[in-house]
Amino acid sequence: MKKRERVDYPRREHREEYGAEVAPPASVRTERPERAAAAPEKHEADRVMESTGKVSGYIGLACGIASLFMWSIVLGPAAAVLGYYAYVNGRKTTGAWSIGLGALATISYFFMIPFAR
């Protein structure tokens, strides 16, 4: 009995491999990695900017919490500005919270003021 041969699969005229398209990219290095450059030393100006960002972040957070209860039109924007300054100087979490609380207090002031008069 003669074995029947399929014509459509595997295609004999197209000899391709699809492994490269399907496989995840390889992360194997063949050359030796160079040594990473040492971390640059922090200068005095960098330390001052870090500490001012930290202080402004905490003051902005305190203003943001206080603005929810009193003087929301004054303390809200102050908290947002101090939060932005802290965010730019590397204190991302306290800066974002200060911005959010300041914006919330300021926006809520404009929604609640018609009910207070």
DSSP notation for 21-53: HHSPPP----SPPPPPPPPPPPPHHHHHHHHHH
State how far the Cα of 85 lies from the Cα of 102, in Å rounded to an integer: 13
User: Residue 98: what pLDDT?
Assistant: 92
User: Residue 42: what pLDDT?
Assistant: 67
Q: Please list the pLDDT of the chain residue by residue as tens digits (117 residues).
A: 677 666 666 555 666 666 666 666 766 666 666 666 666 666 666 666 667 777 888 888 898 999 988 888 889 999 999 999 888 888 888 889 999 999 999 999 888 888 876
User: Residue 37: what pLDDT?
Assistant: 66
Question: What's the token pair of residue 61?
Answer: 């957070």
Sequence-ordered alpha helix ranges (H) in the chain: 19-22, 44-67, 72-88, 92-116
